[in-house]
């Protein structure tokens, strides 16, 4: 029997990657292979009928390889930024049959597992067949790590699923391996894994784990509804969009505009969740996360404002008087070039080392707060209404203090809090016994109209800057200023109309009939 601590970075492929592509990426990074071999093994994961070990993040398997069997126990995983750290206990299993109970295990494993399993029977929960390509990577004259490329076929209850992983197992120099993992992630269609193989396979296979929990508890999946999992899901989606943006390279187009908008929305949702649970996590970590989100939002907003301005000018061209028609076309072409230049700078920044480093820190910070705040299902059922109620209370304070004129500073603050309420309600919409979806329309309507006012105000500021901007050609400047001034007038009327619509949306939003649907939300005594 052997005991050791496993330390490895796990990268999960978003699509099947050819071995040649991985080897080419390793070659580009200046690593060499001291050893290369192919092995196959079959892992049978054991658990009780309740799925106790899987729920606890513990692995117990019998590995069959080349006519031998080995029993392996893996402790609860500690994962951060793709790094998995687990204690392992391995022992030969010279029996034809699988162990039936914890009592049949070697003493060291029995001591660990009997308090969890008691006398409940062990049964095969899932089988993972693994085709493994192994590389021993060297840098200079020293070994760097063992890299394993795993093709996995998972089976359970007559269902089958496949996926691919890259593992970098090391014994020292964690920083060098982290850098290698980051570089591979940049070159290959992979993301840092947050689940081990059996947990990920269970999710793919839809493995149900019945137990003594209530129906309400069973309706909730720790994978799907915990705050850490929600943050991870949003981060994964953002990373996928970011990868698409980086692939756009130097050719910004309508597709990239949509990608940038999606990226902005996902970052806003992450910010709302982090803000809602901020006091549960270290202040410096939360501050770093929000600073990164603010930076990304500011860069994305610059291009988003230009997209709206270009679209508005295109609509406005038809209303221009004939003498300004040609100048309108020239101004449109100029604005489009300004937008494309800004988009190109943004895409280059997103693909650059500065942002990649910040994104890695961002990912690690999210992993850290996830580790520090493992909100379970039962906790979430109580936490969600409380967090929503706090955001709603702050929003209603502002609604009641808002001037009828809706100064832009108030609009921006209201928009931010409406966004947070909407994002939180959306994340918690599927919790059992909650009816948050019923009020989505009122909240979403207010959010949409407040965002319209904010966008139009940003456009007004841009137009003022460009109208007064000097140009070498004074005649062209006058004509362009005339076009932009005409657009600014149209924008002013649109902003006033948007403010009126926003006022009506906010009045509807501030009715008790809306907030009563949110459990725990403050409400006045009399019904609106």
Domains of the chain plus CATH, in order, are 2-212 (2.40.320.10), 233-515 (1.40.20.10)
Please state, in angstroms and rounded to a whole number, the distance separating the CA atoms of residues 180 and 144. 10
Q: Where is pLDDT greater, at 281 or 413? A: 413
What's the token pair of residue 175? 């920083």
From the list 133, 5, 116, the residue with the least C-alpha distance to 60 is 116
Please state, in angstroms and rounded to a whole number, the distance separating the CA atoms of residues 28 and 25. 5
Quote the pLDDT of residue 208: 54
Query: Which residues sit opposite 91 in a β-bridge?
Result: 71
pLDDT category at 377 given cuts 50, 70, 90 is very low
pLDDT of residue 278 exceeding 80, the answer is: no
The chain-wide mean pLDDT, for the chain, equals 78
Residue range 459-473: mean pLDDT, rounded: 74
pLDDT of residue 224 exceeding 50, the answer is: no
pLDDT in tens, 126-182: 999 999 999 888 877 777 888 999 999 999 887 888 899 999 987 667 788 888 888
Please state, in angstroms and rounded to a whole number, the distance separating the CA atoms of residues 488 and 280. 46
Q: Where is pLDDT greater, at 213 or 49? A: 49
Please state, in angstroms and rounded to a whole number, the distance separating the CA atoms of residues 92 and 70. 4
pLDDT of residue 378 exceeding 50, the answer is: no
Other Cβ atoms less than 10 A from the Cβ of 112: the count is: 18
pLDDT of residue 106 exceeding 60, the answer is: yes
Please state, in angstroms and rounded to a whole number, the distance separating the CA atoms of residues 399 and 410. 9
Residue range 445-474: mean pLDDT, rounded: 79
pTM over 0.85: no
Contact 414, 450 (CB under 8 A): yes
Q: Where is pLDDT greater, at 76 or 432? A: 76
pLDDT of residue 20 exceeding 80, the answer is: yes
From the list 261, 262, 266, 267, the residue with the least C-alpha distance to 307 is 261
Quote the pLDDT of residue 199: 86
Residues of the chain above pLDDT 70, percent: 81
Quote the pLDDT of residue 371: 57
Q: Where is pLDDT greater, at 270 or 520? A: 270
pLDDT category at 305 given cuts 50, 70, 90 is confident
What's the token pair of residue 507? 């009045």
What's the token pair of residue 131? 């085709």
Please state, in angstroms and rounded to a whole number, the distance separating the CA atoms of residues 192 and 80. 9
Please, which residues have CB within 8 angstroms of residue 368's CB and are 6 or more apart in sequence? 80, 282, 285
Please state, in angstroms and rounded to a whole number, the distance separating the CA atoms of residues 6 and 8. 6
**Phi–psi pair at 161, nearest 5 degrees:** -145, 150
| 3-state percent breakdown (helix, strand, coil) of the chain, nearest 5 | 60, 20, 20
Query: Which residues sit opposite 134 in a β-bridge?
Result: 37, 148
pLDDT category at 64 given cuts 50, 70, 90 is very high
pLDDT of residue 253 exceeding 80, the answer is: no
pLDDT category at 212 given cuts 50, 70, 90 is very low
Pair type for strands 2-13 and 159-169: antiparallel
Quote the pLDDT of residue 80: 61
H-type alpha helices, 402-439: 408-427
Element (H, E) at 148: strand 142-156
Please state, in angstroms and rounded to a whole number, the distance separating the CA atoms of residues 327 and 485. 12
pLDDT category at 216 given cuts 50, 70, 90 is very low
Contact 395, 421 (CB under 8 A): yes
Q: How far apart are the first and last CA of the chain?
A: 71
Residue range 32-41: mean pLDDT, rounded: 84
Quote the pLDDT of residue 225: 44
pLDDT of residue 472 exceeding 50, the answer is: yes
Residue range 417-446: mean pLDDT, rounded: 70
Please state, in angstroms and rounded to a whole number, the distance separating the CA atoms of residues 464 and 484. 9
Judged by phi (left if over 0) then psi (alpha if -120 to 50, else beta), residue 3 lies in beta
Residue range 395-407: mean pLDDT, rounded: 83
Contact 292, 362 (CB under 8 A): yes
Contacts by residues 97-102 (CB-CB < 8 Å, ≥ 24 positions apart): 98/44, 98/46, 98/62, 98/122, 98/124, 99/46, 99/62, 99/71
Quote the pLDDT of residue 240: 78
Element (H, E) at 344: helix 325-351
Residue range 2-11: mean pLDDT, rounded: 85
């Amino acid at each position: 029997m052997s005991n050791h601590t496993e330390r490895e970075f796990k990268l999960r492929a978003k699509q099947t990657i050819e071995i040649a592509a991985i080897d080419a990426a390793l070659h580009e990074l200046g690593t060499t292979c001291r050893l290369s071999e192919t092995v196959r093994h079959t892992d049978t994961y054991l658990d009780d009928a309740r799925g106790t070990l899987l729920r606890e993040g513990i692995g117990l398997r019998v590995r069959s390889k080349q006519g031998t069997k080995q029993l392996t126990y893996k402790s609860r995983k500690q994962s951060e930024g793709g790094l998995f750290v687990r204690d392992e206990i391995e022992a030969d299993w010279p029996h034809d049959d699988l162990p039936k109970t914890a009592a049949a295990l070697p003493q060291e494993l029995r001591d660990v597992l009997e308090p969890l399993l008691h006398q409940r029977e062990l049964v095969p929960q899932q089988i993972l067949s693994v085709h493994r390509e192994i590389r021993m990577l060297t840098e200079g004259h020293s070994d760097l790590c063992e890299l394993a490329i795993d093709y996995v076929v998972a089976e359970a209850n007559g269902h089958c699923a496949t996926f691919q992983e890259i593992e970098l197992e090391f014994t020292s120099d964690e920083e060098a391996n982290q850098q290698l993992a980051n570089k591979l992630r940049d070159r290959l269609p992979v993301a840092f894994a947050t689940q081990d193989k059996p947990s990920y396979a269970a999710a793919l296979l839809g493995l149900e784990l019945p137990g003594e929990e209530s129906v309400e508890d069973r309706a909730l999946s720790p994978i799907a509804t915990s705050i850490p999992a929600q943050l991870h899901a949003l981060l994964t989606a953002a990373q996928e969009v970011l990868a698409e943006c980086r692939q756009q390279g130097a050719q910004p187009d309508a597709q990239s505009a949509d990608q940038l908008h999606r990226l902005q929305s996902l970052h806003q949702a992450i910010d709302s969740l982090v803000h809602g649970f901020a006091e549960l996590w270290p202040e410096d970590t939360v501050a770093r996360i929000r600073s990164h989100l603010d930076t990304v939002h500011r860069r994305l907003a610059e291009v988003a404002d230009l997209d709206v301005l270009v679209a508005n000018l295109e609509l406005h061209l038809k209303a221009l008087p004939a003498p300004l028609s040609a100048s309108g076309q020239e101004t449109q072409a100029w604005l489009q070039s300004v937008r494309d230049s800004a988009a190109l700078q943004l895409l280059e920044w997103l693909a650059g080392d500065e942002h990649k480093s910040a994104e890695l820190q961002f990912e690690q910070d999210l992993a850290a707060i996830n580790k520090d705040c493992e909100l379970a299902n039962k906790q979430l059922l109580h936490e969600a209404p409380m967090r929503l109620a706090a955001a709603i209370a702050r929003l209603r304070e502002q609604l009641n203090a808002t001037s009828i004129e809706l100064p832009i500073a108030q609009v921006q603050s209201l928009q931010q809090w409406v966004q947070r309420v909407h994002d939180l309600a959306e994340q918690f919409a599927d919790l059992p016994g909650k009816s948050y979806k019923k009020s989505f329309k009122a909240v979403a309507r207010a959010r949409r109209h407040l965002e319209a006012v904010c966008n139009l105000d940003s456009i007004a500021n841009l137009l003022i800057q460009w109208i007064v901007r000097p140009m070498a050609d004074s005649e062209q400047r006058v004509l362009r200023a005339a076009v932009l001034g005409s657009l600014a007038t149209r924008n002013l009327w649109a902003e006033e109309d948007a403010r009126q619509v926003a006022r009506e949306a906010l009045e509807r939003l501030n009715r008790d009939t809306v907030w009563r649907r949110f459990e725990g939300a403050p409400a006045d005594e009399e019904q609106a």
